[in-house]
A and B are shown apart, each in its own frame.
Chain A
Amino acid sequence: MTSIARSLRPAASRLLASSRSSQPCRACPFAARAFSASRAAHVKKYSKDHEWVELSADNKTAIVGISEYAANALGDVVYVELPTVPLEVAAGDSIGAVESVKSASDIISPITCKVTAVNSLLEEKPGSINNGPEDDSSAGGWVAKVEVPEAGVKDFEGLMDAETYKEFTEE
């Protein structure tokens, strides 16, 4: 098994040239945040393994998923493996896997955390991950809800913001 980043390597530049530029952002994260009271609420960051983490305002919980970029590059997802909860993991541990016709990739937790809930919709409709990989609604393709300890917040600080991640994928 390999991380998403490894699975994507050969495909990365081509996908950037094609689907990224033409496709509208299906899951615009900030548009959906209009109800948020605090500006600091729900900060979203990305890992080099192409996962995203959205940390709640109180730094206690977070939602994890794979990036829109990764979902496009992997192609049609046909199977998603989710962890049994609860599951305590360190940053860099596998919390599941996504399978497309061409590859199987681990979903790597970008932060130290305890997985408390998983998006079981993905077991029945794995394609949800292509339709809205960064959508955290009940119909979305998010992967896991987690509790975040101190160490996890530290890990979070080391991740990339949206702009840096965009540059990273365009390298």
Chain B
Amino acid sequence: MVPFGGFHMPVQYATQSVSASHHFTRSHASLFDVSHMVQHRFQGPGATAFLEKVTPASISQLGTHNGGLSTLLWPVTGGIVDDTIITRLGPQLFYVVTNAGCREKDLKYFEEQLADFKKSGGQDVEWEVLDGLLVTPDEVDLQKLYFGQSQFIKIKLLGDKVSSPLLVSRGGYTGEDGFEISIPGHETVAVTETLLQTATVEKLQLAGLGARDSLRLEAGMCLYGHDLDDSTTPVEAALSWVIGKDRRVAGGFHGEEVILRQLTPKSKGGIGVERRRIGLIVEGAPAREGAEIVDEKGEKIGNITSGCPSPTLKKNVAMGYIKDGFHKSGTNVEVIVRGKKRTAQVTKMPFVPSRYWKGAAPA
């Protein structure tokens, strides 16, 4: 167990090593406890406009029970306050998940931003921090629940009881196809035991932060506080895809002055970025957070923000920030681990293709 975002979290469970758990997640399924994450509900006529102010996402284009990754932004600088998953549950109702490690910062941020929003004439937004959701369940067909979508589902618990409606979102917390299940606190143990016993140990096992970290790295996904921070914009973080198409034209979100100009590279008359997030495959020793990236002459051109040996690829994968110009995949660089230079190559992410469920290919 390790301290993580104010919680005691398991790195691994006694039954499996980190790499065994990693492979099991890819080949079967693992159950990750993510109850440390912070759940919010935003509701009211001003909810869409408010979320469009604090994130660059096309909230107005988001269908009911659809959601995805976005970033909360600081005014003016456009730095990333936290990364977040936003799901629309109704015309004026949103379910928002943020990181436990940023809990205090995020709560203060929402408080201040809501006050500013109202002061500048925004419509009413009601904000609640949740420990579970209670609403009416939907009809269930998991085959038809695609990546980014969510439904309220009741499940039959062991011993004939039926659970409360659980918000089940098909997402990719690990870079694998998966479901995020929001369970009211008092039913957590019953639902977990039901899932584990029904699926059996052959098909479902508990997994911890260790496997989550190597899985998300293979998927090229960022970990806030390591690969992202307050001084990093979505463009620098190679997360420009979270900026909605309509938002690129209309703007209206925090830091738009910086972010929109960064979207156009220097070669095309914009200001571009000085550094950007890239993936690396490192020879020999795995490069981990803090390692320096240098060019052929030994000059520092960036640093590693996370890395590990990839259990799937049997190669060392890493991500980090590198000076603009060195960011193209195939560029050879060197990474310093324990004082020695190791050959590395800029590589496209994800390192391991994600297998999100987006429905069967059209016939």
Contacts and interface: CB of A to CB of B under 8 A. Distances in A.
Contacts of A78: 19, 286, 309
A101 B309 contact: yes
A11 B12 contact: yes
B34 interface: no
The 5 residue pairs across chains A and B that have the minimum distance between CB atoms:
A18-B14, A78-B309, A75-B17, A10-B2, A102-B210
A127 to B, nearest CB: 11
A104 B288 contact: yes
B14 A99 contact: no
B351 to A, nearest CB: 14
B308 interface: yes
Contacts of B309: 78-79, 99-101
A97 B309 CA distance: 14
A54 to B, nearest CB: 26
Given A101-B22, A101-B308, A104-B286, A17 B14 contact: yes
Given A78-B309, A99-B286, A104-B286, A1 B18 contact: no
Contacts of A11: 11-12
Interface residues of B, number: 23
Given A97-B285, A101-B19, 5 more contacts: A11-B11, A75-B18, A75-B19, A76-B18, A76-B19
A94 to B, nearest CB: 8
Contact of A101 (B2, B14, B214): B214
Nearest to B2: A10
Contacts of B210: 101-102
A99 B1 CA distance: 20
Contacts of A75: 12, 17-19
Contacts of A14: 1, 14
Nearest to A10: B2
B338 A97 contact: yes
B284 interface: yes
A155 interface: no
A162 B286 CA distance: 32
Interface of A: 1, 10-11, 14-15, 17-19, 75-76, 78-79, 81, 97, 99-102, 104
Interface string B327-347: 000000000001000000000
A70 to B, nearest CB: 14
Contacts of B14: 14-15, 17-19
A19 to B, nearest CB: 8
A45 to B, nearest CB: 27
B213 interface: yes
B299 to A, nearest CB: 23
Given A11-B11, A75-B18, A101 B311 contact: yes
Contact of A10 (B11, B17, B214, B284): B11
A101 B288 contact: no
A36 B42 CA distance: 75
Given A75-B19, A97-B285, A99-B285, A1 B308 contact: no
29 contacts: A10-B1, A10-B11, A11-B11, A11-B12, A14-B14, A15-B14, A18-B14, A18-B15, A19-B14, A75-B12, A76-B17, A76-B19, A76-B20, A78-B309, A79-B285, A79-B286, A99-B286, A100-B19, A101-B22, A101-B210, A101-B308, A101-B309, A101-B311, A102-B11, A102-B210, A102-B213, A102-B214, A104-B285, A104-B286
A101 B18 contact: yes
A75 B210 CA distance: 11
Contact of A81 (B17, B19, B214, B338): B338
A1 B12 contact: no
Nearest to B340: A81
B99 to A, nearest CB: 20
Given A11-B12, A78-B286, A102 B308 contact: yes
A1 B287 CA distance: 11
Interface in B241-264: none
Contacts of B285: 79, 81, 97, 99, 104
B305 to A, nearest CB: 15
A81 B284 CA distance: 9
A2 to B, nearest CB: 11
